């Protein structure tokens, strides 16, 4: 899922400085799981902002709401009945949610309350890690289920590079070498022949290189 | 009153200050004695995060604190309560309450001298 973390309170306070009445909108999707933008975080952030603003002598009115998702148009309708009563909307959904909200409500300033970080997994409570860069051309069937684009700091194919040492990456010794992980896994699966296969040129056009991407399924359209 | 301090979260603690508390003490079971195994340890972490938020918001993180004791330690509870009340008296009203009473956010020099 998409992971993020809250922006520092000072940064958010600076963003909302011109406003006295705002909506704070959370999202019940990915950002709830990574404890950055769910219903609980809406309550905590709203209290923190109200306390900070009242202490500064400029009380702030906040309408709190948590939408089922901010990346689907039907759920964004949840703020329509009252959005015109407020001066701005602070969203603690991922960047996709913030932008979709901005598209839907062009007359309301949209402010991001979290920094969207990556597509990843929950390693353990309080620890999340990147696993996918959405390159658009998955090769996990050839690499033992470990992504060379994401797990290798240099996103190289046919690694490891010369910077791999004792299974660690030269970019940061806390990072495991993605290619060492791939080779170890291929060996344990008895699939080292996959490593010897020469990959065709990767289709980076399916990644970000071709600009913003979209998926169109005409069979699903009404 | 909650059945376990594990039920207490940052939202509850911050809301208390919005509602006018000058200080909040969270009293949980002794560490290692939680009937639900980790309830008091979770509360401890949440109290820590709340203190950081209160610092960032200008209210002051020293106004929230966790204490641990067993249900049979009435005297210790009274001692902890008195200790915390004294700590909050020393700090004075929270900045929120000062503003609501029309006082400057920080105590004046004269006010500080009056504080015992």
Nearest by Cα to B97 from B52, B56, B48, B63? B63
Q: pLDDT per residue over B32-79, tens digit each?
A: 999 999 999 999 999 999 999 999 999 999 999 999 999 899 999 999
The chain A residue lying nearest B57, using CA atoms, is A52
Q: Is the Cβ pair B57, A55 closer than 8 Å?
A: yes
Q: Is the Cβ pair A51, B15 closer than 8 Å?
A: no
ipTM value for the complex: 0.90
Start-to-end C-alpha separation, chain A: 27
How distant, in Å, are the alpha carbons of A204, B23, B94, B95 from that of B101? Answer: 63, 17, 11, 10
Q: Note the residue count of chain B.
A: 116
At residue A129, the pLDDT reads: 97
pLDDT reading at B107 higher than 90: no
Dihedral of CA atoms A111, A115, A120, A122 in degrees, nearest 10, equals -100
How distant, in Å, are the alpha carbons of A10, A145, A180, A207, B43 from that of A158? Answer: 45, 15, 11, 19, 48
Nearest by Cα to A24 from A73, A71, A70, A57? A70
A108-119 b/e (C-beta count within 10 Å ≥ 16 → b): bbbbbbbebbbb
Three-state DSSP at A213 gives coil
Q: Is the Cβ pair B105, A55 closer than 8 Å?
A: yes
Nearest by Cα to A158 from A170, A145, A149? A149
Q: Tokens 């703020």 sit at which residue?
A: A79
Start-to-end C-alpha separation, chain B: 32
Q: Is the Cβ pair B58, A8 closer than 8 Å?
A: no
pLDDT band of residue B116 (cuts 50, 70, 90) is low
- Chain A partners of B58 at a C-beta cutoff of 8 Å? 51-52, 55-56
Give the A:B interface size as CB pairs under 8 Å: 49
Q: Tokens 């079971």 sit at which residue?
A: B29
Q: Distance between CA A64 and CA A83 in Å, rounded?
A: 12
At residue A39, the pLDDT reads: 98
- Chain A partners of B48 at a C-beta cutoff of 8 Å? none
Nearest by Cα to A7 from A127, A88, A92? A92
At residue B115, the pLDDT reads: 56
pLDDT band of residue B114 (cuts 50, 70, 90) is low
Distance between A95 CA and the closest CA of chain B, angstroms: 24
pLDDT averages per 10-residue partition of chain A, 222 residues:
97 98 98 97 98 96 98 98 98 98 98 98 95 95 96 91 96 97 97 86 85 94 89
pLDDT reading at B108 higher than 80: no
Whole-prediction pTM: 0.92
pLDDT reading at B111 higher than 90: no
Q: Is the Cβ pair A52, B96 closer than 8 Å?
A: no
């Amino acid at each position: 899922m998409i992971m993020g973390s809250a922006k520092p309170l000072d940064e958010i306070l600076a963003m909302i400085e011109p406003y006295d009445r705002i909506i704070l909108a959370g999202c019940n999707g990915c950002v709830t799981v990574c404890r950055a933008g769910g219903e609980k975080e809406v309550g905590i952030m709203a209290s923190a902002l109200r306390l900070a603003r009242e202490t500064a002598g400029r009380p702030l009115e906040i309408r709190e709401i948590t939408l089922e998702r901010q990346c689907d148009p039907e759920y964004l309708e949840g703020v329509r009945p009252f959005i015109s009563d407020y001066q701005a909307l602070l969203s603690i959904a991922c960047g996709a949610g913030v932008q979709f909200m901005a598209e839907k409500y062009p007359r309301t300033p949209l402010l991001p309350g979290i920094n969207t970080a990556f597509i990843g997994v929950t390693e353990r409570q309080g620890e999340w890690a990147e696993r996918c860069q959405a390159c658009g051309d998955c090769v996990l069937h050839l690499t033992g289920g470990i992504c060379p684009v994401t797990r290798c700091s240099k996103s190289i194919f046919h690694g490891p590079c010369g910077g791999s040492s004792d299974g660690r990456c030269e970019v940061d010794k806390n990072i495991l070498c993605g290619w060492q992980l791939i080779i170890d896994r291929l060996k344990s699966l008895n699939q080292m022949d996959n490593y010897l296969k020469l990959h065709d040129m990767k289709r980076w056009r399916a990644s970000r290189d071709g600009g913003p991407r979209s998926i169109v399924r005409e069979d699903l359209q009404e | 009153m909650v059945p376990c301090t594990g039920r207490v979260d940052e939202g509850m603690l911050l809301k208390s200050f919005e509602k006018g508390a000058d200080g909040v003490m969270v009293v949980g079971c002794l560490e290692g004695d939680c009937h639900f195994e980790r309830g008091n340890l979770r509360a401890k972490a949440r109290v820590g995060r709340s203190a950081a938020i209160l610092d960032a918001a200008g209210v002051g993180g020293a106004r929230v604190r966790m204490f641990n004791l067993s249900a049979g330690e009435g005297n210790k509870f009274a001692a902890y309560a008195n200790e915390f009340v004294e700590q909050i008296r020393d700090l004075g009203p929270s900045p929120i309450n000062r503003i609501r009473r029309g006082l400057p956010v920080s105590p004046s020099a004269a006010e500080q001298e009056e504080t015992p």
